[in-house]
Homo-oligomer: A and B are copies of this chain.
Amino acid sequence: MITLINGQLQNTISVQDRGLAYGDGVFETMLSIHGQIPLLHKHMQRLHESLQRLDIQTNRIEENIELIHAHLLSDKQQIVKLTVTRGVGPRGYLPVKPCLPTVIIQISDKNNIDETKRRSGVSITYCETLYSKQPKLAGMKHLNRMDQVLAQMELAQGPFDEGIMFDDKQCAISATMHNLFLVNASCLITPKLDECGVAGVMRAHVLDLANQLNLDINVQTVTKNHINQADELFLTNSLHGIWPICQLNSTILPIGPVTSELMNKVAKVIPYGD
C-alpha cells in the first residue's frame, strides 16, 4: 500500500484533523486498470461538487491526480482511495476559515476474489438497519459512514452477499456498498437519492449507457413491491462494475437480458476480469 498525505509519503494524520473528529470530508474509491482510471472524469465531477457543497476549498486536487498517476502500475489492477478532509482545526463543530484541507492518497492492489460474483451473481436480502436521511449530504460519498458499518455488521450475521437499505419511509436507497438497479418491462429503475445515499460513479455510467441504448429510465421512489416484482435486479459500484442479483431472499432470479447487455457495454470500457 502506498500512502501519500498532502503530497508526502506518510501514513499518519493529525489527531486534530476534522476528518477524524467529525467525519468532515469526502472520499472517492477508484479502480485503476493498466495504470489508468477509466471513470476518473466522473469521480472528479462528484468530488468537486461535494467539496463545493461542503465549502471545502482546495486547488490541490489536480496535482494530487498527477501524483496518483505517477504511482500507478501498468501491469495490475489497483484501488485508489482519495480522501479530502477539511483539515486540522480546533475543537468545535464550526469550521475555522481559512481551512487547509488534508488530501490523502491510498493505493493498494486489487485482488480478484470477487470475480465469481460478477460472473454468477450475488444473493441479497433486506437490511433492518435504516439509511439516515440528510438532504444536505445526499449523493455525496462523505466520511459519515456508520449507517453502512452497522448494516454490514447486520449482514455478517446471515448468508447473504449484500443487503438493500431503506429509509424510514420504507423507500429503498441502495445496498450497503453498491447502488441498486431494477429492470421492469424493459424499463431501468434506480432509487432517487435526493434525501440520502451515495450517487455512485458506476451508477452514473450505467445511466449514461442506458441512455445510449435508448432504454426507458426511471429515477424514482423504489419500494419493496417494486423490488419483489422486478424482472431483473443488479448492483453497481466503481470497483465491481455490475453485479447481477441472482437471489433475493429465498427467490432465485435469472441474469436477464438488460443486465447482460449493460454488463457487456461496461466491459468494453472497463475490462474488470483482465
**Given A91-B81, A93-B145, A144-B144, also A5-B15 (CB < 8 A):** yes
With an 8 A cutoff between CB atoms, is A19 at the interface? yes
Q: Which residues of B contact A11 (CB under 8 A)?
A: 14-16
Whether B150 pairs with A104 at a CB distance below 8 angstroms is no
How many copies of the chain does the oligomer comprise? 2
Q: Is the CB of B136 within 8 A of A133?
A: no
How far, in angstroms, from A196 to B144 measured CA to CA in the complex?
15
Most chain B CB inside 10 Å of its own CB: which residue of A106, A108, A134: A134
Q: Could you say which of A16, A106, A142, A146 has the most chain B C-beta atoms within 10 Å of its C-beta?
A: A146
Q: Which of A15-50 contact B (CB under 8 A)?
A: 15-24, 27, 29
A59 adjacent to chain B (CB < 8 Å): no
Given A130-B135, A144-B145, A153-B95, CB of A13 within 8 Å of CB of B22:
no
Q: Are A19 and B20 in contact (CB under 8 A)?
A: yes
Known: A129-B136, A144-B144, A144-B146; 16 extra A-B contacts, CB below 8 A, are A13-B13, A15-B106, A18-B149, A21-B27, A21-B83, A22-B149, A92-B152, A93-B152, A94-B152, A94-B153, A130-B136, A132-B132, A132-B133, A132-B196, A134-B147, A137-B150
What are the residues of chain B within 8 A of A27 when measuring CB–CB?
21
The 3 closest A-B CB pairs, nearest first, are A12-B12, A23-B23, A144-B144
Interface check A184, CB cutoff 8 A: no
Q: Does A247 make an interface contact (CB < 8 A)?
A: no
Q: Within 8 Å CB of A17, what residues of B?
A: 20
The 8 A CB mask of A150-194 against B (1 = contact, 0 = none) is 111101100000000000100000001100000000000000000
How distant is the Cα of A27 from the Cα of B22 in the complex, in angstroms?
10
| Best-buried of A27, A135, A144 by chain B (most CB within 10 Å) | A144
A: residues with CB less than 8 A from B are: 3, 5, 11-24, 27, 29, 55, 79, 81, 83, 85, 91-95, 104, 106, 108, 129-130, 132-137, 142-153, 155-156, 168, 176-177, 196
> Chain B nearest CB: distance from A8 CB in Å?
12
Question: Nearest Cβ in chain B — how far from A173, in angstroms?
Answer: 12
13 A/B residue pairs, CB under 8 Å, sorted by A = A11-B15, A13-B15, A16-B106, A20-B143, A21-B27, A23-B23, A24-B145, A91-B108, A93-B149, A129-B136, A130-B135, A133-B168, A168-B168
A30 to chain B, nearest CB (A): 12
Which residue in chain B gives the minimum CB-CB distance to A144?
B144
